[in-house]
Chains A and B, each alone.
Chain A
Amino acid sequence: MSLFQKLIHIDRRIIFILIFFGTAVPLLLVLNLPVEVTKNVKNVYKMVEETPEGSPVIISFDYDPSTKPEIQPMAVAIIQQSLRNKLKLICIALWPMGVQLCNEAFEQVLPLFPEVKYGIDYVNLGYKAGGMVTINHMAKDLPSTFPTDAGGIPIDEFPIMKGINNFSKIGFVVGLSAGDPGLKQWVMVVHDAYGRPVAGGSTAVQVPYLLPYVNEQQQLTGLVGGLKGAAEYEKLINQPGFATKGMDAQSVAHLIIILLIVIGNVGFFITKRTK
């Protein structure tokens, strides 16, 4: 058996070990590989920057712990930027576990903003089942869709919710999405039916399906895709976090995968020719 034949029949467990160490070692030895900011991520950043101070905005936590490593860094970065720009954050969840992930993100950010108060500067309205039906209902009557916050307190008691009856006063919606219901539903209702700006972050798997909405029609103002997008956002707000730390490991793992694909293809063509 030639070297190439051996390589294309390599035991898959060796590949797993290579990927494991290729990911673990860069986490231990920080390489600080450069992260370039792309236009789609910059558009989300710009949208948040250009929204007038004091505007109420919606952040929707439509993911669960299985995709936390990818989306939570985006949530933390976007919340941080929004609070820095004194926006009023109305948080909701179309996925049940989004409620806890929202609380975790705020726990991480709030020590940087001691002046920020619950109910005045931000609120967590909790989870509501229904996906697109829920968003449609919010557009008609938001208070009856979410009569209380996640803790069961009536929303009339929160100054942040005064005068918010639908999407008309909402500066923008950011959907942090790992699937359905998620960002696509926000685009369909909030932008396409009510004309309000929508941007978001998603898992890398979803990016190819969501990118067509970042178009001339601006169905999506911008899109933060996967851990790479989150690292770009951390760079834009100048607060390196988990995503920036993870990008070294991501890059090395990708190099190993590219190398394996090249070896596999070269080996395949060489053995095919020798046959």
Chain B
Amino acid sequence: MALIMERIGIWVGAILTFAIFSFLYRDNPFYKIAEQIFIGISAGYWFIYTIYNILIPNLFTPLLTNFSANLLLLLPALLGILMLCRLIPRIDWVSRYSIALVVGTTAGLFFKRYLQSDVINQMNATMINPFSAPDLAATIGQLILIIGTVTGIIYFFFSKKHEGVFGGTARVGIFFLMISFGAAFGYTVMARISLLIGRLDFLLGDWLGIIKP
């Protein structure tokens, strides 16, 4: 029985894969059906997942097993209920209290962490002596890192007109930015091809059995 169910699952997966791929030819009813099935199942799945994996273990179970010790949990529960008031236009303003709390705490917490990791540590990592590197390749790499960082920052300095030496430096910064955009594009292509490989491995391996694991 389990084997039959597994085969049915593989066939459904293969048919839905082809339905989605058919969009590459043009928009069509098969694609739309697959898309709607995906949206519907995702919504249902996440609804149940949230209840069983977030609300029950983090709120209902602690309150039901030891109410007095977990009284504090009523506060986030109340804020959650306030958030749901967005669905009722007449009192949707009360949801702003929950949103304000989330925005405030997130901003406070993230400010410190981002300042440390993305500003201070990144600056420290660029303040290096390139000539102390163990070999010529590393020295060149570190010089490129310093030049790229400095010229890139200069390009984003808009309080002075980009002309003369300053403009030339900013232009060098543009080259570094272009190279980084190219690298990002290359990595994106690689990622998408990897996903196609995953699907084809499923179709040719699990479904058709042409390639062995």
Contacts and interface: CB of A to CB of B under 8 A. Distances in A.
Interface string A253-272: 11001000000000000000
A127 B204 contact: no
B200 interface: yes
A246 interface: yes
Nearest to B123: A217
A110 interface: no
With most chain A CB atoms within 10 A of its CB, the pick from B54, B189, B197, B200 is B197
Interface stretch (A75-83, A113-121, A161-169, A201-209): A201-209
Given A16-B24, A27-B211, A225 B187 contact: yes
Interface in A76-106: 96
Contacts of A215: 121-122, 125
Given A28-B211, A96-B49, A217 B124 contact: yes
A13 interface: yes
B25 interface: yes
A213 B113 CA distance: 14
B201 interface: yes
Nearest to B185: A208
A126 B114 CA distance: 27
Contact of A192 (B25, B121, B210, B211): B121
B200 A226 contact: no
A22 B200 CA distance: 11
A250 B194 contact: yes
B110 interface: yes
How many chain A residues sit at the interface, stated as a range, is 35 or more
B99 to A, nearest CB: 16
B40 interface: no
Given A16-B24, A216-B124, A219-B117, A136 B109 contact: yes
Contact of A204 (B121, B191, B198): B191
B140 interface: no
A18 interface: no
Contacts of A126: 53
B109 A226 contact: no
B54 to A, nearest CB: 6
A16 B26 CA distance: 12
Nearest to A135: B113
Contact of B121 (A68, A203, A217, A245): A217
A250 B193 contact: yes
How many chain B residues sit at the interface, stated as a range, is 35 or more
A226 B110 contact: no
Main SS of chain A's interface residues? Answer: helix
Contact of A132 (B113, B200, B210, B211): B113
B204 A24 contact: yes
B180 interface: yes
B128 interface: yes
B15 to A, nearest CB: 17
B114 A216 contact: no
B183 interface: yes
B28 interface: no
Nearest to A211: B183
Nearest to B193: A253
Given A207-B187, A215-B122, A28 B204 contact: yes
Contacts of A227: 190, 194, 197
Contact of A203 (B117, B184, B191, B200): B191
A201 B117 CA distance: 19
A41 interface: no
Given A23-B196, A133-B109, A257-B189, A188 B201 contact: no
A161 B84 CA distance: 38
Interface string B157-193: 0000000000000000000000010011001111101
Nearest to B195: A69
A257 to B, nearest CB: 6
